[in-house]
Structure 1
Amino acid sequence: MTKAEARKYYRNLRKQFSREEVNNLSAQIFNQLKQIDFTSAQTFHIFLPIEKNNEINTYPIIDWLFQQHKNVVLPLVVGDDMINCEVKKGFETQLNSLQIPEPIHYKEIDSTEIDVILIPLFVADKKGNRVGYGGGYYDTFLAKCKPESKKIGLTYFKPIDTIEDAYLGDFPLDSCITPEGITSF
């Protein structure tokens, strides 16, 4: 399957989820995530869900990270770049023109300060190659992160055999979390 085929197929599957299914599957993903030992990690990059796209509800994960006294960093697209916005518990957001929630008050930090990156995606393959929206923002961002940062994909769907058009500029995941479990690559 190519990235375009996977993007179309899994976007359509995700569109069919009810709000209740999104919340239930998101809770299962969160429960899987809590099984990972993050004691040595302090700073977490995590996305906010675009509700109209039935993205994974990450707000419970964010609340849990704050309870664990972790630093929470949210992405913000500025022009062709994505910046890292460290937020505090109780942060506020606003929807941009694409209905993407963005933090209002934040401190910008460098990508090299991030220990764990929780990445949105449609699906991954069994080598850790990922299919996202195709804008390239995460590839550009991941190139700036320290090599030892853990790259963890969050998706509703288990990995497929192969993404035929994965290329060298792609940054593969270290692991992928689905409602069914955790796959390490």
Structure 2
Amino acid sequence: MDSIQPSNKSEQALWLLKNKKNKHLKTKKELRSAYRQLRKSLNQEEVEAKSKAINFQFLNWLKDQDPIQHFHLFFPIDRFNEVNTFYIKDSLDQKGKTLYTSQVNKLNTEMETLKLPVDAAFFPR
């Protein structure tokens, strides 16, 4: 393992995640920050390609999971360059699965689970 950290922030975040001897990444907050840096370094085409690859892997896993009918999804926040989970949503919709998501209740700041209607509308990405 290379002991010299790269200077580029996204490369450094990847290095920190891969370096098993590193004692700096200990908390969930630090891991989230490192992955946020990695996502920021991706362009839109890379995000879409990786999102499609994740959907493909998910569909392969799903082949052996027929009894599972209920799925909870988190949808991407564009400004965080997150995985496009709408591919997974569309795949699950086509299979007739029941979908749920979460939202923050602004009155008490707690997460609430919501069942998605089949005809749920989303803003275009």
Instruction: Name the TM-score, length of structure 1 as normaliser.
Output: 0.48
Tell me by how many angstroms 1:50 deviates.
Answer: 0.3
Identity of aligned residues (%): 33
| Distance (Å, rounded) in 1 between the aligned partners of 2:31 and 2:113 | 28
Query: In the alignment, does 2:103 pair up with 1:76?
Result: yes
| Distance (Å, rounded) in 2 between the aligned partners of 1:53 and 1:10 | 10
Query: In the alignment, does 2:42 pair up with 1:17?
Result: yes
Rg (Cα) greater in structure: 2
Query: Which stretch shifts more, 34-43 or 48-57?
Result: 34-43
Deviation readout 1:108-151 (Å, 9 max, x if unpaired): xxxxxxxxxxxxxxxxxxxxxxxxxxxxxxxxxxxxxxxxxxxx
Alpha-carbon RMSD? 1.4
Choose the corresponding residue for 2:75, options 48, 51, 61.
48
| Distance (Å, rounded) in 2 between the aligned partners of 1:60 and 1:20 | 15
Tell me by how many angstroms 1:39 deviates.
Answer: 0.5
Match in the other structure for 1:133: none
Higher helix share: 2
SS at match of 2:60: coil
Deviation readout 1:7-30 (Å, 9 max, x if unpaired): 222211111111111000011111
Choose the corresponding residue for 1:90, options 119, 122, 125.
119
SS at match of 2:119: coil
Aligned length: 94
Contact 1:74 1:84 in 2 (8 A): yes
Higher strand share: 1
| Distance (Å, rounded) in 2 between the aligned partners of 1:47 and 1:88 | 15
1:90 aligned partner, one-letter code:
D
Q: Which structure ranks higher in relative contact order (CA pairs < 8 Å, sequence separation ≥ 6)?
A: 1
Give the unaligned 5+ runs of structure 1.
95-185
Tell me by how many angstroms 1:93 deviates.
Answer: 3.8
Contact 1:63 1:89 in 2 (8 A): no
Give the unaligned 5+ runs of structure 2.
1-24
